[in-house]
Amino acid sequence: MKKILIIGAGLSTTYLIDYLLENADQYDWRITVGDISEDMARKKVNGHPRGKAKIFDINDDLESWRSIANADVVISMLPANMHHLVAEKCIDLRKPMLTASYATEQIKSLDEKARQADIPIMMELGLDPGIDHMSAMNVIHHIKERGGKLTSFYSFTGGLVAPEYDNNPWNYKFTWNPRNVVLAGSGVSTFIHNGQYKYIPYHRLFDRVLSRKILQLGDFEVYANRDSLKYREIYGLKDIASMYRGTIRRPGFSKAWNALVRLGCTEDDYTLENSENMTYRDFINAYLMYDPDMPVEIKLQQYCHNSSDPIVFEKLKWLGIFDRRKIGLKNATPAQILQKILEEKWKMDPDDKDMILMQHEFKYVLNEEDKMLVSAMAVIGIDQEKTAMAITVGLPLAITTKLLLTEKINHKGVILPIHKDIYEPVLDELKTYGITFEEKEYMLG
């Protein structure tokens, strides 16, 4: 019997845990779900005879060592900044670890130790990062095998509300961590276009969007992710002339969001005095010129030119930012106040379903002909627990765990899913769950 320890029982674990429990009899697995909240872990196990729930605290050294030592494989679903704590214990105890999160520099520094321990630390096995790597490498390898030379790779992903539940002016609802949405794009976005390095500072990021039609789902816009350049090395495309990764939203989102960025509402490095007694109207007015005889609405339109657009202004007004309701958050940052406003308005309704979109665009030269291949995927959630996000994060991670336990893959060190023996079987099984990419090829010129 193989013992699987899953650390963390948050939103993204539902499909992961269900998949492993459903396959536990066939493969003779025992699954333990550990979480700081035993009730949450117990809920995810749901009384399954092959499952067990327990309290798990990675900072409790003795108990966490015991739990990891008793497992054959460990899946970490903790917050990203805690994965290295799990990885270090897994290396010391020679236990393979898998997670959906990014391979940070701190994790990458453990590569040699993991090799010496003869175990894999398998990272980026979720959606983005995860399915994006697998689906991209699948196409890249096929193009290269045919003798093609890649000249451009653009890739976009977005978590949105499904079209039939898209019923607010922003065409957006929170389908994932609200804080990550509020802080998205901060810093400088970098990419390369026709051999020229491009840099977009945060205060201009939402001015520079791409327009796309995706599948049969209509029009979308894309803003640049923070660092597209690192993917050249990951995908073996170090000489590619164009590389861009971005986030998908519905048209008009970025123009309205940009008004909030320009105003300063997404800043998170200082707190506002007496924030608990401020109203939302006070919050907005705090960033505008002092003129007691001029309405906040007019001052905002004069200060942020985007907000003078009637469509943008209606989006902002709909959020309730001009309301005289108290904020009620003590020592809050602007980003925390904005998050509170948005959580009230962008909350998913009980019957809503989310949607994941992903699109890759490859340009390449084959037999002296310029070609383009577009590969796109859409996944609609089932309900509020089995969301599209939970499905696309949890399933590839669960399938990779099965491949590891059944000795179908055998890697050591810090590993990403860019190898054929990982991505081909994962993508094949994802198809059986309706997670498929539609590909179309075009001649250019």
Which DSSP symbol is given to 100? Answer: S
CA neighbor of 173 nearest in space, from 258, 250, 63: 250
pTM equals 0.93
Q: How would you label 270-308 residue by residue, b for 16+ Cβ within 10 Å and e otherwise?
A: eebeebeebebbbbbbebbeeeeeeebbebbbebbebbe
DSSP H or E segment with residue 212: strand 209-213
- Tokens 């029982």 correspond to 9
pLDDT in tens, 368-404: 999 999 999 999 999 888 899 999 999 999 999 999 9
Q: If DSSP codes are grouped into helix, strand and coil, which group holds residue 186?
A: coil
pLDDT in tens, 99-147: 999 999 999 999 999 999 999 999 999 999 999 999 999 999 999 999 9
pLDDT in tens, 319-371: 999 999 999 999 999 999 999 999 999 999 999 999 999 999 999 999 999 99
CA neighbor of 320 nearest in space, from 166, 163, 169, 180: 169
**What's the confidence (pLDDT) of residue 235?**
95
Overall residue count recorded for the chain in this entry: 445
Mean predicted confidence (pLDDT) in 4-33: 95
pLDDT of 306 above 90: no
pLDDT of 267 above 90: yes
The C-alpha atoms of residue 343 and residue 322 are separated, in whole angstroms, by: 16
CA neighbor of 125 nearest in space, from 189, 73, 161: 73
Q: If DSSP codes are grouped into helix, strand and coil, which group holds residue 32?
A: strand
Counting residues of the chain whose pLDDT is more than 90, the rounded percentage is: 92
Q: If DSSP codes are grouped into helix, strand and coil, which group holds residue 151?
A: strand
pLDDT of 304 above 90: no
Residue type, 95: K
Contact 440, 414 (CB under 8 A): no
**What's the confidence (pLDDT) of residue 337?**
97
The full DSSP string for 311-375 is: HHHHHHHHHTTT---B---TT--HHHHHHHHHHHHSPPPTT--EEEEEEEEEEEEETTEEEEEEE
199 contact partners, CB below 8 Å, separation of at least 6: 188, 189, 190
**What's the confidence (pLDDT) of residue 80?**
87
- Residue ranges of domains in the chain, CATH in brackets: 2-126+390-431 (3.40.50.720), 131-256+349-388+437-443 (3.30.360.10), 263-345 (no CATH)
Count of CB atoms situated within 10 Å of the CB of 116: 12
Q: If DSSP codes are grouped into helix, strand and coil, which group holds residue 155?
A: strand
From the number of C-beta atoms within 10 Å of its C-beta (0-12, 13-18, 19+), residue 149 rates as exposed
Indicate the pLDDT class of residue 175, thresholds 50, 70 and 90. Answer: confident
**What's the confidence (pLDDT) of residue 385?**
85
Q: If DSSP codes are grouped into helix, strand and coil, which group holds residue 44?
A: helix
pLDDT of 293 above 90: no
**What's the confidence (pLDDT) of residue 413?**
97
Is the preceding omega at residue 129 within 30 degrees of 0, hence cis? Answer: yes
Mean predicted confidence (pLDDT) in 73-93: 95
Chain centroid to CA 5: 23
Chain centroid to CA 335: 19
pLDDT in tens, 307-321: 999 999 999 999 999
> Which range, of 254-258, 323-327, 342-346, 441-445, averages the lowest pLDDT?
441-445
Indicate the pLDDT class of residue 11, thresholds 50, 70 and 90. Answer: confident
Counting residues of the chain whose pLDDT is more than 70, the rounded percentage is: 100
Chain centroid to CA 402: 23
**What's the confidence (pLDDT) of residue 87?**
96
**What's the confidence (pLDDT) of residue 7?**
97
Outline where 191-279 has alpha helix (H): 202-205, 231-234, 253-263
**What's the confidence (pLDDT) of residue 251?**
97
The C-alpha atoms of residue 344 and residue 319 are separated, in whole angstroms, by: 8
**What's the confidence (pLDDT) of residue 326?**
95
Outline where 46-110 has alpha helix (H): 61-69, 83-93, 105-108
Q: ∠63-72-19 over CA atoms, to 5°?
A: 105
**What's the confidence (pLDDT) of residue 436?**
97
The C-alpha atoms of residue 32 and residue 52 are separated, in whole angstroms, by: 5
